């Protein structure tokens, strides 16, 4: 297979991932962004294209894939055909593809990957003849039929389309529909992810880990995600394909076995992982396949990690010069510090464990064993401590995993679904305990010792915290300028700047979307990265990177005064705003806007009084008593309208950030910086209020000219 392609595909909704895509994660999703980035680094990645979130929005409106988008998909397949020298549905050198969902955030609950798509009886015969391996061809077809029925049709006996193009259309539509699945909604609700982000679809040429004895699949971490220590850490499954390792259905082998059998492949894999970690300056989770001795990388992303790994890696990367001390503090949360300071293992008193397996996430937790995720959720809500024990877990179990104090599985390794999700949730987890564990533990009170990989009878007393953990906490505390026991509070203070709607229960620390950046650039006209970062409560480096992506995509341009929209950027912004408007309850936003306009009239009077003592007298701010009275009116009006602005975030998630921005302006005014009353450009109270007014007008489907004529937007 050739990793390149003869001709780049550039369309509105379907884009080749050739290393020069230039689109943001918001539009193409994390998987596609990773593929494109790895190809830009010169790493071996099978050819692929992405169907952007624009197509998801169009599908959501229409309920079907538009013909013009489908034509672009067919062009994308032709690109992969040129890049591989194979034909989709061909009876000689046939091409098979994978279809993956891809939101901007890795999200359990989205549709599982479909592998080997394009398989038919004729294709099976062609593969058997080409490889002289009918066992492989038969295995590949059986995998495809099972996956397609399970993930696309939702029917274990459903009829799989005989036409590869019908298979592809069905898989793409299933990805789009999965955005609104119950399990995806559960994850977004738990993590504060907006429902309006949508999902992209990545289509990629297949490589086959099930081809022969020199083939397999695996997952590699650039550091141990359980402890944070190097060197690389991973698992490998000979004869496996795609989801075999992460699904937990099979128990893989240590990566050392790949080093023993194929040292050259192992060496190239380690080099790639180290390059990706240096480039990303973070622990990387790398999925790979080996096809007949040839290494292919499928995805790389920042790894989910335990609290201990987060602390250890942050300190180690400062020592290695990968990140600075300030960034290390940003990577560790107060809860992670508290978690590592809790005893992570127990004093067994010499008792034999009920079972043992691999440590997937350290920690110590006790509770009653339940085996059904619905039961785990119900009993936890009733105040009971429960331990979820399953043969293996899947995204369908997510709600039960969130509810449980700890997780145990019979099957799977440290890169299984249970392991990955438990680390993200911070739940102690032991995996690969072997068959029969579910029946043996059901109903018992047990203690899960995630660090030791043990399940013990009853409740177990904890051991003291390790000295190495205390040393890392002292280093972080020193960088934060506090004593170790004050580190969690200091980290919470650092994080408080990005939390602005806690009273209304709205999470605003969700990822910055393309719409948010383009909207602020459009409203402000010219704005530098510092001001954008202040408005969005993110690091300047992050917003500068996002704006650089927009400049590369031709949607923004740089000027001495900052970023501005390009002629191509304006219709893109209008398209995004129109898509957002379609997701908003029109009656609710109209009612909220009517209420806003009442406050708007009051605020205009307050700002006018701040600037002018009377129609003929400019306020020189020499009269402290006068100014104090005006500011008291401003503060009082703000407190009265906070519930309204909080509700706006529930109607249109992007508006949730406005409450934090207005709160910060009031706080700065209270601290004596009176420029935050009405100075343009900066995030003064009046500036932010104006921007909110503009957004409400747009979401109501109105124009400022219409509202000015009605007397509500002068």
Q: Look up residue 512 and give its two tokens.
A: 């910055």
Mutual angle of helices 514-524 and 529-536, in 10-degree steps: 120
Checking if the pLDDT of 685 tops 70, the result is: yes
Checking if the pLDDT of 85 tops 90, the result is: yes
Counting beta carbons within 10 angstroms of the beta carbon of residue 6, is it exposed (0 to 12), middle (13 to 18) or buried (19 or more)? Answer: exposed
What mean pLDDT is predicted for residues 600-612?
Answer: 81
Res. 708 pLDDT band, cuts 50 70 90: low
Comparison of pLDDT for 575 and 251, the residue scoring more: 575
Res. 497 pLDDT band, cuts 50 70 90: very low
- What are phi and psi for residue 301, nearest 5 degrees? -155, 160
CB-facing half-sphere around the CA of 10: CA atoms within 13 A? 9
Res. 175 pLDDT band, cuts 50 70 90: very high
Residues 34, 103: contact at Cβ < 8 Å? no
**Structure confidence at residue 343 (pLDDT):** 65
Q: Look up residue 579 and give its two tokens.
A: 């898509």
- Of 244, 110, 98, nearest in space to 187 by CA: 110
**Structure confidence at residue 171 (pLDDT):** 97
What mean pLDDT is predicted for residues 433-448?
Answer: 95
Per-residue pLDDT tens over the stretch 354-383: 999 998 888 889 999 999 988 998 899 899
Strand-strand pairing, 406-409 and 386-390: parallel
**What's the Cα-to-Cα distance from 633 to each of 651, 666, 684, rounded to whole Å?**
28, 12, 16
Q: Look up residue 1 and give its two tokens.
A: 């297979």
Checking if the pLDDT of 544 tops 60, the result is: yes
Give pairs for 524-533: CB < 8 Å, separation 24+: 524/681, 524/691, 525/564, 526/559, 526/561, 526/562, 526/563, 526/564, 527/562, 527/563, 527/681, 528/561, 528/562, 528/563, 529/562, 529/563, 531/562, 531/681, 531/682, 531/683, 532/563
**Structure confidence at residue 58 (pLDDT):** 92
Q: Among residues of the chain, what percentage have pLDDT more than 70?
A: 89
Q: What is the spatial distance between Cα 129 and Cα 120, in angstroms, rounded to a whole number?
A: 14
**Structure confidence at residue 498 (pLDDT):** 40
Q: Look up residue 71 and give its two tokens.
A: 């034509």
Res. 5 pLDDT band, cuts 50 70 90: very low
Per-residue pLDDT tens over the stretch 192-219: 677 888 999 999 999 999 999 999 999 9
Q: What is the spatial distance between Cα 68 and Cα 45, in angstroms, rounded to a whole number?
A: 28
**Structure confidence at residue 346 (pLDDT):** 66
What mean pLDDT is predicted for residues 86-105?
Answer: 93
Q: Among residues of the chain, what percentage have pLDDT more than 90?
A: 47
Q: Look up residue 38 and give its two tokens.
A: 């790895």
Note if the pTM is more than 0.85. no
**Structure confidence at residue 111 (pLDDT):** 79
Distance of CA 119 to the CA centre of its chain: 31
Checking if the pLDDT of 296 tops 80, the result is: yes
φ/ψ region of 423 (left if φ > 0, alpha if ψ in -120 to 50, else beta) reads alpha
Checking if the pLDDT of 269 tops 90, the result is: yes
What mean pLDDT is predicted for residues 385-407?
Answer: 86
Res. 344 pLDDT band, cuts 50 70 90: low
What mean pLDDT is predicted for residues 491-499?
Answer: 61
Checking if the pLDDT of 122 tops 70, the result is: yes
SS3 state of residue 659: helix
**What's the Cα-to-Cα distance from 100 to each of 30, 48, 116, 208, 487, rounded to whole Å?**
11, 11, 12, 16, 41
Q: What is the spatial distance between Cα 563 and Cα 561, in angstroms, rounded to a whole number?
A: 7
Residues 518, 576: contact at Cβ < 8 Å? yes
Mean pLDDT, rounded, of the chain: 86
Residues whose CB falls within 8 Å of the CB of residue 695, separated by 6 or more in sequence, listed in order: 519, 652, 654, 655
Comparison of pLDDT for 167 and 542, the residue scoring more: 167
Paired strand residues for 249: none
Res. 510 pLDDT band, cuts 50 70 90: low
């Amino acid at each position: 297979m050739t990793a390149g392609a003869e001709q780049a595909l550039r369309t509105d909704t379907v884009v080749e991932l050739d290393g020069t895509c230039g689109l943001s994660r918001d539009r193409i999703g994390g998987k596609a962004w990773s593929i494109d980035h790895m190809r830009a680094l010169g790493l071996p990645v099978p050819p692929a294209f992405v169907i952007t979130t624009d197509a998801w929005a169009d599908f959501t409106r229409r309920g079907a894939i538009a013909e013009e988008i489908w034509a672009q998909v067919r062009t994308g397949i032709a690109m992969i055909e040129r890049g591989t020298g194979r034909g989709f549905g061909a009876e000689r050198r046939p091409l098979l593809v994978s279809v993956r969902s891809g939101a901007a955030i890795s999200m359990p609950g989205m549709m599982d990957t479909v592998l080997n798509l394009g398989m038919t009886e004729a294709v099976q015969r062609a593969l058997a003849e080409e490889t002289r391996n009918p066992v492989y061809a038969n295995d590949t077809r059986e995998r495809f039929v099972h996956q397609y029925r399970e993930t696309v049709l939702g029917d274990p006996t459903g009829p799989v389309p005989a036409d590869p193009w019908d298979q592809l259309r069905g898989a793409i539509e299933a990805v789009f529909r999965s955005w609104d699945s119950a399990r995806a909604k559960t994850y977004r609700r738990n993590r504060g992810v907006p429902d309006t982000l949508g999902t992209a679809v990545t289509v990629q040429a297949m490589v086959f880990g099930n081809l022969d004895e020199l083939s397999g699949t695996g997952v590699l971490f650039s550091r141990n995600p359980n402890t944070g220590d190097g060197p690389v850490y991973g698992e490998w499954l000979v004869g496996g394909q795609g989801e075999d390792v992460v699904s937990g259905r099979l128990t893989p082998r240590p990566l050392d076995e790949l080093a023993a059998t194929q040292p050259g492949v192992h060496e190239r894999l380690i080099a790639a992982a180290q390059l990706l970690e240096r480039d990303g300056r973070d622990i990387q989770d790398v999925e790979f396949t080996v096809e007949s001795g040839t290494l292919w990388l499928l995805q790389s992303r920042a790894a989910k990690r335990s609290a201990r790994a987060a602390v250890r890696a942050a300190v180690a990367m400062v020592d290695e010069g990968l990140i600075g001390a300030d960034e290390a503090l940003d990577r560790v949360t107060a809860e992670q510090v508290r978690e590592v300071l809790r005893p992570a293992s127990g004093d067994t008193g010499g008792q034999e464990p009920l079972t043992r397996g691999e440590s997937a996430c350290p920690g110590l937790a006790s509770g009653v064993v339940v085996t059904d995720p619905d039961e785990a959720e119900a009993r936890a809500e009733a105040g009971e401590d429960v331990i979820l024990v399953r043969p293996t877990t899947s995204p369908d179990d997510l709600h039960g995993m969130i509810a449980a104090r700890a997780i145990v599985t019979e099957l799977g390794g440290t890169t299984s679904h249970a392991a990955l999700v438990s680390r993200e949730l911070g739940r102690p987890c032991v995996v690969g305990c072997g068959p029969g564990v579910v029946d043996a533990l059901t109903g018992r009170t047990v203690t899960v010792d995630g660090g030791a990989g043990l399940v013990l009878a009853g409740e177990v007393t904890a051991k003291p915290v390790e000295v190495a953990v205390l040393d890392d906490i002292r280093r972080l505390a020193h960088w934060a300028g506090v004593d170790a026991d004050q580190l969690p509070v200091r980290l919470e203070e650092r994080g408080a700047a990005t939390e602005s709607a806690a009273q209304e229960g709205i999470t605003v620390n969700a990822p910055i979307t393309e719409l948010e950046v383009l909207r602020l650039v459009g409203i402000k006209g010219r704005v530098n990265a510092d001001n954008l970062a202040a408005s969005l409560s993110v690091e300047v480096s992050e917003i500068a990177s996002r704006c650089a992506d927009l400049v590369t995509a031709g949607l923004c341009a740089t000027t001495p005064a900052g970023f501005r929209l390009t002629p191509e950027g304006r219709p893109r912004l209008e398209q995004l705003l129109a898509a957002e408007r379609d997701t908003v309850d029109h009656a609710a936003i109209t009612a909220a806007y009517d209420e806003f306009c009442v406050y708007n009239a009051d605020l205009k009077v307050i700002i006018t009084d701040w600037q002018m003592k009377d129609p003929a007298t400019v306020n020189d701010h020499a009269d402290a008593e006068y100014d104090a009275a005006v500011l008291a009116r401003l503060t009082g009006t703000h407190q009265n309208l906070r519930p309204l602005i909080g509700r706006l975030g529930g109607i249109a998630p992007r508006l949730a950030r406005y409450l934090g921005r207005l709160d910060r302006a009031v706080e700065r005014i209270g601290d004596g910086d009176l420029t935050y009353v009405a100075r343009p450009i900066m995030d003064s109270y009046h500036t932010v209020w104006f921007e909110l007014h503009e957004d409400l007008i747009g979401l109501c489907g109105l124009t400022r000219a219409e509202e000015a004529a009605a007397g509500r937007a002068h």
